[in-house]
Amino acid sequence: MQTAKNPVMRIDSHQHFWVYDPNVHSWMNEEMAVIQKDFLPQNLKPHFDVLGFDGCVAIQASQSEAENSFLLSLAEKHSFVKGVVGWIDLQSKDISDRLDFYTHFPKIKGFRHILQDEPDIDLMLRPTFLNGISKLKDFGYTYDILIFPQHLANAFILAKTFPNQLFVIDHLAKPNIKMGEIDQWKKDLQNIASLDNVHCKISGMVTEAEWNNWKTEDFTPYIETVLESFGIERVMYGSDWPVCTLSASYENVLGITQNFFSKLSPDEQESFFGRNASRFYNLEIG
């Protein structure tokens, strides 16, 4: 007698919400006018309803604890927002107290710092930063690594220092797809993928390609590298909506990965499009 298979949620592991404020969202330069407006759950839900997604993980887009409160308020009102990756000052002397505070909010699943924009490429290896990272596992939190390829060597040291801490690399570490640069990125990505505690989001690719002039095959060698390096159990789908709309619609972004993963088994597709994110972020099903 066969037992019924547990349903697998289809999860977007990486997207953002914001009420646009040029002072808060100063990273949106003049080329990004199309996203200089409000993006909220009611703007994302229609895509999910059509495309069959059950939920998402909302990722911080500004570096303040006010961002956490904002995202949590949205998650409270919209049940499809299954988890939040917020921001916290990892270098704070009272980091443990702040982490303990967030244990009262079950939808906070982890934290992220916008390392890619830090002038100091070695910030992630500072003793104060490492101390903050060292506290995360005690409270059950994950850490999203937002970096460029030149940061991968330091990210390897970071992740190797804490083998029991779960890490996920956002956006493949942003390889220069527009220029077809792959060799050094591939070498460094394979290196960090050798650490079992590191996962990778296949997300954010269209904005690293030539905006509005990319081809689906542009992404194939990068997706192949990630899948070969991490394996099917340590990769997850993310749209990077609404940032992706600088270069593509939500449907276009999904189509890139669906086209690639259609050759894999149904079980492997379920892992990529939902199961892995649900497990990594410990999302509640139902």
pLDDT in tens, 5-19: 456 789 999 999 999
Give me the mean pLDDT over the 100-126 stretch: 97
pLDDT score at 92: 97
**Percentage of the chain surpassing pLDDT 90?**
95
Give me the mean pLDDT over the 266-272 stretch: 97
**Looking at the predicted structure, is the pLDDT value of residue 237 above 60?**
yes
pLDDT score at 8: 73
List the domains of the chain with CATH numbers.
11-280 (3.20.20.140)
**Looking at the predicted structure, is the pLDDT value of residue 160 above 50?**
yes
As a whole number, the mean pLDDT across the chain is 96
Contact 253, 247 (CB under 8 A): no
**Looking at the predicted structure, is the pLDDT value of residue 4 above 60?**
no
**Looking at the predicted structure, is the pLDDT value of residue 263 above 90?**
yes
pLDDT band at 285 (very low <50, low <70, confident <90, very high): confident
**Looking at the predicted structure, is the pLDDT value of residue 75 above 90?**
yes
Torsion of CA 63, 134, 174, 182, to 10 degrees: 160
Lowest mean pLDDT among 23-32, 39-48, 239-248: 23-32
Give me the mean pLDDT over the 211-219 stretch: 96
pLDDT band at 3 (very low <50, low <70, confident <90, very high): very low
pLDDT score at 1: 37
**Looking at the predicted structure, is the pLDDT value of residue 2 above 70?**
no
Q: Exposure string (b/e) for 71-93, b if CB count within 10 Å is 16 or more? A: bbebbeebebbbbbbbbbbbeee
**Looking at the predicted structure, is the pLDDT value of residue 286 above 90?**
no
Q: Exposure string (b/e) for 172-186, b if CB count within 10 Å is 16 or more? A: bbbbebeeeebeebb
pLDDT score at 161: 98
